[in-house]
Structure 1
Amino acid sequence: MPSEGDEDYLTTAEVARRLQVKPATIYAYVSRGLLTSVRARGRRGSLFRASEVERLAARSVEHSGVIERIESELTLIDEDELYYRGRNVRTLAATAAVDNVATLLWTGANDGVSTKVFTPRREGVLLARRAMEVIPEGARLTDRLRVAVAVLGAADPLRFDLSRASVTSAAGRLIGTLIAALPGPTAIRTTIGGTLWPKLSDGEPRPEVLEAALILLADHGLAVSTVAARVAASARANLYAVISAGLGALDGQYHGAAPTLAYEFLERAKQDPLQALSDQLRSGEPIPGFGHRIYQRSDPRALALFELLGDHPILDTVNALAERASTFPNSDLAIAALMHAHNFRPDAGDALFALARMIGWTAHALEEYDAPPLRFRALGTYTGQSA
């Protein structure tokens, strides 16, 4: 049994510093057989053979920092429920303002004090609006958001300040500016939901609906766009570049486009749910807005959003589909139902998803800025011609 002073052995803290990981990760390595722990003579705690640690360190260098697991304190999905920092998201959507939820995700603060986070600046709104007007008239709202993010980033001389205070301030300003700059009435209302509503709908304002949707969609763990955002942050890209990386991944048909596909499917189903479902099954493609890779029996975000619809007739269509489908409705169908119920523009769902997820990407970027840099690189296997 080695002693603490044995030069051939390292303590947990020394191994963590050598491998640039948290102590908890060391014990995960032990459980996977990557390291062997031994008891230290005369004291509590474990020791690790230095040569074994060096082999693991060399392996990490050889594989350019490949990691198997991303540690995060932000989001938990457990037994078909979603939590932000231990708080049930359905409860947050029903009781909290989106500003407070953003603060919770970004800083962990949860003092219940209402603080306005999304504060646009007039010059930023004017710049973003000019940038959005450059692209073709028929472009989607998400196209306008991507262009505006790039322009606003180029105009921010302090974008490379990655301190937590600077990043959270920039994130609140960016999201607020993007919403204010979207086409439509420009008056900035009391809440983010009130400002966003006339950008998406000409129906009777229900800002609390948008507030709840933004909270429910703000984060969902390591979705593909969130991983893209974290990879950018790992390279110490600034917040605007991180958001751009997330928006790029979100633009895929299997991710950010899902609300639009569900909206179009629900439009067909309003006339004849059974025929729409039959046609979709015949196509061989998945039923838009149904099922989920993580949830087993229900999507808690969808349940919360459907509750906001009360007894609206669109729920008759949703229920008719759900009775005949072999799985459950997800948040994409719930967003689509909200869009139909409140006369949202057809591309509103994608934009709402993107704006909400910017809150989560910021939280993940902040975590990544505190982690060792450049820790993401997959190990590739060459399959081309030999040299």
Structure 2
Amino acid sequence: MRDQEPAPMDAERRLNTKEAAELLGVKPETVYAYVSRGQLSSRRASGGRGSTFDAGEVEALARRNRRDGSGSSGSGSSGSGSSGGGNSSGELSVRTRLTLIESDRYFFRGVDAVDLATRHTYEEVAEWLWTGRMLPGSTFTAPAGFVSVARRAVEALPEHAAPADLLRVATVAAATADPLRFDLSEDAVLGTARTLIPTLVAALPPRGHDRRDEGSMAHRLWTRLSMRKDPDEASLRALDAALALLVDHDLAASTLAVRVAASARAHPYAAVSAGLGVIEGPLHGAAGGLAHRLLQDVLEQGDAAPVIADELRAGRRVPGLGHRLYPGEDPRARALFAHLERIPRAEPALLAARDIVETTARHVPLHANVDLALAVLTVSSGMAPTAGETIFAVARTAGWIAHALEEYGERPLRMRPSGLYAGPRPPQPLPE
């Protein structure tokens, strides 16, 4: 027997979190998961405590969930659902062979991703994700013509341009230099992947010393991010591990954007540009910068308690803590922290990160996520707050291309959901 439909609500009415959760039949934290996935919009409540939600939006989502037969879990997809359709939780699911997340672990093509990042370089992990073959000693080379065009485009930007701006402009510039960019065959897309990533790194301006355009991607990227001229082996290995750990993470927001572009048969450069356009949000690629600044504040004050109090007083979520896909510990954070513990100069930042976790755990038992571990790396390596976003974007470019390549093998334009209209019913009179 179907549940009785509730009476329509006043579209102007606002619901608090508890009321929205009750109407949807979910836990309060699931309401915020709907917000993070773009299924609901929220507004800060007067006084700065909690959020409110449009009653009409909540009612429409409740109707859709009942129609789709979704329950109250609201949990994230593990990437094994139907091809481009709705799954049992009312979310978009996309069949993929790339990444699986379950039981506080994640896997690339069935292999533990942490093990891969521990034993292999970023380039080798990228090749594994693209082809399912391990190619020891893999290196990426950027054509001189691509680099020249990309550098000129990046150098024309204002000094305050964000990392995503630099990389997006470099991507578009590289595309204009590639007359074969519309070839979507597997070999052509793989060729683009192996040249685009080093082109992006080569286009970034150096920080205080000469560019390095040979060697590992981690070493080349180091010269664009750190003021420390000669990195030790442990620091380079930590940066390389960070790149490998962040290669892919199922259908994150930016990855979904890439797959939508690829579904429309946009070329790989355009698909990557779509991903770069999404990561600037504070809930995605920019989260590492927020954690970096938080960590710096804790180091300056010598105590996490007043810093966290200021964050909460301002109505902000404490960055670097918790992840909806990992009820327990974020395996990426655990692996990166293990590398950082081998770097003596990282000890103060590691202690500050531990202080942040322990201080918040007095009330909310959240584990550190990869953004906090990335912040320890960037702070202790003399990098700017935006370095985490750059690391994330360069790393994830490999995953985006893997998803684009996979999507090119699917039916075109399958990523086309139907809109759930919630506006005034027609016919309406013409506006005056």
Alignment-derived partner of residue 269 in structure 1: 298
Change (3 A) 1:282 1:93: same
Match of 1:97 among 107, 113, 121: 121
Code of the residue aligned with 1:217 in structure 2: it is L
1:146, CA displacement in angstroms? 0.8
Alignment-derived partner of residue 225 in structure 1: 254
Structure 1 runs of 4+ aligned residues shifted over 3 Å read: none
Q: How does 1:34-113 map to 2 (within 5 A)?
A: 68-110=92-134, 112-113=135-136
- 1:83-118, Cα deviation, whole Å (9 max, x unpaired): 1111112111111011111111101112x53222x2
Alignment-derived partner of residue 13 in structure 1: none
SS of 2:183's equivalent in the other structure is coil
1:253, CA displacement in angstroms? 2.3
Q: How many angstroms apart in 2 are the aligned matches of 1:68 and 1:141?
A: 29
Give RMSD over aligned pairs. 1.8
State the TM-score, normalizing by the size of structure 1: 0.80
1:115 aligns with 2:138: yes
1:190, CA displacement in angstroms? 1.6
1:140, CA displacement in angstroms? 2.0
Q: How many angstroms apart in 2 are the aligned matches of 1:376 and 1:245?
A: 14
Q: How many angstroms apart in 2 are the aligned matches of 1:323 and 1:346?
A: 23
Alignment-derived partner of residue 354 in structure 2: 319
Code of the residue aligned with 1:173 in structure 2: it is T
Match of 1:176 among 175, 187, 198: 198
SS of 2:179's equivalent in the other structure is coil
1:207, CA displacement in angstroms? 2.1
Q: How does 1:228-243 map to 2 (within 5 A)?
A: 228-243=257-272
Deviates more, 1:92-101 or 1:213-222: 92-101
1:210, CA displacement in angstroms? 1.7
Q: How many angstroms apart in 1 are the aligned matches of 2:107 and 2:406?
A: 17
Q: How many angstroms apart in 2 are the aligned matches of 1:133 and 1:198?
A: 17
Match of 1:259 among 288, 297, 301: 288
Alignment-derived partner of residue 188 in structure 1: 213
1:304 aligns with 2:335: yes
8 Å contact from structure 2 (residues 279, 285) kept in 1: yes
Q: How many angstroms apart in 2 are the aligned matches of 1:187 and 1:349?
A: 19
Deviates more, 1:327-336 or 1:84-93: 84-93
Code of the residue aligned with 1:324 in structure 2: it is T
- 1:168-205, Cα deviation, whole Å (9 max, x unpaired): 11111011011112101323232111111111002241
- Structure showing greater radius of gyration is 1
Specify which structure has the bigger relative contact order, considering alpha-carbon pairs within 8 angstroms and separated by 6 or more residues.
1
Alignment-derived partner of residue 399 in structure 2: 360
Q: How does 1:130-209 map to 2 (within 5 A)?
A: 130-184=152-206, 185-203=210-228, 204-205=230-231, 206-209=235-238
When the two structures are aligned, how many residues end up with a matched partner?
Answer: 323
1:385, CA displacement in angstroms? 5.1
SS of 2:93's equivalent in the other structure is coil
SS of 1:313's equivalent in the other structure is helix
8 Å contact from structure 2 (residues 357, 368) kept in 1: yes
State the TM-score, normalizing by the size of structure 2: 0.72
Alignment-derived partner of residue 278 in structure 1: 309
Q: How many angstroms apart in 2 are the aligned matches of 1:309 and 1:108?
A: 29
Q: How many angstroms apart in 1 are the aligned matches of 2:92 and 2:328?
A: 28
8 Å contact from structure 1 (residues 67, 376) kept in 2: no
Q: How many angstroms apart in 2 are the aligned matches of 1:343 and 1:68?
A: 40
